[in-house]
Amino acid sequence: MTPTVRSARLSDASALAVLVDIAGEGGPNYMWGMLAAPGQSTLEIGRERARREEGGFSYRNSIVAEVACEVAGSLIGYRLDDPYDLTGLDALPELVRPLIRLEAQAPGSWYVNVLATFPEFRGQGIGGRLLEVAETKGRKEGVSAMSVIVGSWNEGAMRLYTRCGYAPSASEPAILPPGFPHQGDWVLMIKSV
């Protein structure tokens, strides 16, 4: 079935939290665990963050793809600040610092922060379709480039972004949560528009 693409709604927050964690291969869940109160679910924290009106991870910056009225995938993206301010970098969790340093190398670009589909919807072109919608949004905002950061171990995502015109621009050694099954670099990929 052809996916329907629309802006996310507040009611999509639970699906967005799961998709963010899928995209981050468990990293978001680990980070949310540091914010959770005793007895509070990490996905509850993710859902709260998705329900915010502001901030990078907000339903307001999200696009969802639906198949048969079910959320199949999502893209969270927005324009990066230009100039990009690295003040306070040392106060952030060590895991995110390499990502922030890479974001700073693409100031003013339209940044694809999260792209994920639920497993049962993979291989149906949803990721490529969401990237097309993101590029349209970026063009409307007058950006000259699109950007994304991907783990070097995620060969499928690297292939998708390459196929969609993104090229590696810079990399940083990844600092990953304990027990994370991969190792490698975070790779900033950029596409001119």
**pLDDT tens column, 21-72:** 999 988 999 999 999 999 999 999 999 999 999 999 999 999 999 999 999 9
Q: Per-residue pLDDT for 1 more than 90?
A: no
Question: Using one digit for the tens of pLDDT, what is the confidence trace for 40-54?
Answer: 999 999 999 999 999
Q: Look at the block and give the residue holding tokens 């699109």.
A: 146
Contact of 75 with 39, CB cutoff 8 Å: no
Q: What is the pLDDT of residue 2?
A: 84
Nearest by Cα to 64 from 99, 120, 14, 26: 14
Domains assigned to the chain: 4-192 (3.40.630.30)
Q: Are strands 70-79 and 167-173 parallel, antiparallel or unpaired?
A: unpaired
Phi, psi values for residue 29, rounded to 5°: -60, -40
Distances (CA, A) of 45 to 25, 34, 73, 104: 17, 10, 20, 26
Question: Using one digit for the tens of pLDDT, what is the confidence trace for 129-164?
Answer: 999 999 999 999 999 999 999 999 999 999 999 999
Q: What is the pLDDT of residue 34?
A: 92
Q: What is the pLDDT of residue 178?
A: 87
